[in-house]
Amino acid sequence: MADERWIAGPTDDRVDEMAQKYVDLSHPRLGTEAVACTDDFFAPMHRMLSPEPAIFIEDKYDDHGKWMDGWESRRKRIPGHDWCLIRLGVAGTIRAIDIDTSHFTGNFPPEASVEAFSGPEQPADDAQGVELVPRMTLQGNSHHLVEVESDQVWHWLRLNIFPDGGVARLRVFGEIHKDWEVVSADEQVDLAAQLNGGVAVAWNDAHYGVPANMIAPGKGVNMGDGWETARRRVPGNDWSILKLGHRGAVEKILVDTAFFKGNYPDRCSIRAIALDDDANLDQIGEDSASWPLLLDEQRLSADSEHEFEPLTHDPVTHIRLDIFPDGGVSRLRLFGKKR
């Protein structure tokens, strides 16, 4: 019987909610990779981690048969089942997993499960991990979103499929674990970076791209790899709120509008505050409008990096980026020291 946490069918809205709330730990830009599998004859295992939604090309074939956008093993003629081992690029706590069989109809696995392992060493092929997703029934051409109740930090995942078949995408939604004990108080780091545990917690609009993109690793790759709001037709301005990976003093601010040429914000400002761990965040959107200024209103330009000095070096835990009146920001960097 399927696990009661299983949500079958087209759950794109739920998957989108998880993608906005958490980091996709399976994203290759974090360094995540598929490192081993029993078989990937029809479609290579690394394709299952592609960040783009799976596609189907009706007339596309390769030397092994029908081209499929995902991981697909051959039809199994011996006992056992197929599996794929995934090394997370950054260790993290997992909150939900989506096993996506989009476009796999007569070749999806009837069942699947997911095991997790901790520690830097690659687990042996016959090692038994902690079962985060119990063996469950799958459907073809569907999302299967399973919420995970565990606060443990994981480094490896093994997707088991029974007995064989194809999975279009595996998404692993969670929170990055950063060991701040190894960071010196004198070391300047990006306090908001996703890799350092920074997360987007609230925003008023994310029509074209979510705020979490602003704190992703590296430079933006295109206009879709940033935070962009819809065109504002009413008074006011757009905003987003980030929680820093660690309480710290911001010493340098970088606002990058790469790729945003006809749709960059005219101006921006940043407010910041230090909140307790148990602070009630239900009203954070409204409350943040009166937080102290970290950066007063500054002009922005198209497709450019802008470096600013903050107004204060007081320790903060949360920041609010206001853009006037709307538009897109590719990356936001808040360099400083933990406090």
Q: Average the pLDDT over 54-59 and give the result.
A: 94
- pLDDT, residue 17, reads 87
Residue 20: pLDDT over 90: no
1 vs 19, residue with greater confidence: 19
Residue 8: pLDDT over 70: no
**11 band by pLDDT with thresholds 50, 70 and 90:** low
**What is the Cα gyration radius of the chain?**
22
- pLDDT, residue 85, reads 98
Residue 2: pLDDT over 60: no
- pLDDT, residue 1, reads 35
- pLDDT, residue 5, reads 47
Say which residues have a Cβ less than 8 Å from residue 230's Cβ, sequence separation at least 6.
205, 207, 208, 326
Q: Is 80 left (phi over 0), alpha (psi -120 to 50) or beta?
A: left
- pLDDT, residue 158, reads 98
Instruction: Kindly report the average pLDDT of the chain as a whole number.
Output: 94
Are the beta carbons of 111 and 137 closer than 8 angstroms? yes
Residue 3: pLDDT over 70: no
196 vs 17, residue with greater confidence: 196
Q: Average the pLDDT over 178-203 and give the result.
A: 95
3-state secondary structure the chain: CCCCCCECCCCHHHHHHHHHHCEECCCHHHCCEEEEECCCCCECHHHHHCCCCCCCCCCCEECCEECCCCEECCCCCCCCCEEEEEEEEEEEEEEEEEEECCCCCCCCCCEEEEEEECCCCCCCCCCCCEEEEEEEECCCCCEEEEECCCCCCEEEEEEEEECCCEECEEEEEEEECCCHHHCCCCCCEECCCHHHCCEEEEECCCCCECHHHHHCCCCCCCCCCCEECCCCCCCCCEEEEEEEEEEEEEEEEEEECCCCCCCCCCEEEEEEECCCCCCCCCCHHHHHHHCCEEEEEEECCCCCEEEECCCCCCCEEEEEEEEECCCEECEEEEEEEEC
Q: Average the pLDDT over 123-133 and give the result.
A: 96
Task: Please give the model's pTM, rounded to 2 decimal places.
Answer: 0.88
What percent of the chain is modeled with pLDDT above 70? Answer: 96
The total number of residues shown for the chain amounts to: 339
Summarised one tens digit per residue, pLDDT across range 192-239 is 999 999 999 999 999 999 999 999 999 999 999 999 999 999 999 999
Summarised one tens digit per residue, pLDDT across range 282-307 is 899 999 999 999 999 999 999 999 99
- pLDDT, residue 4, reads 42
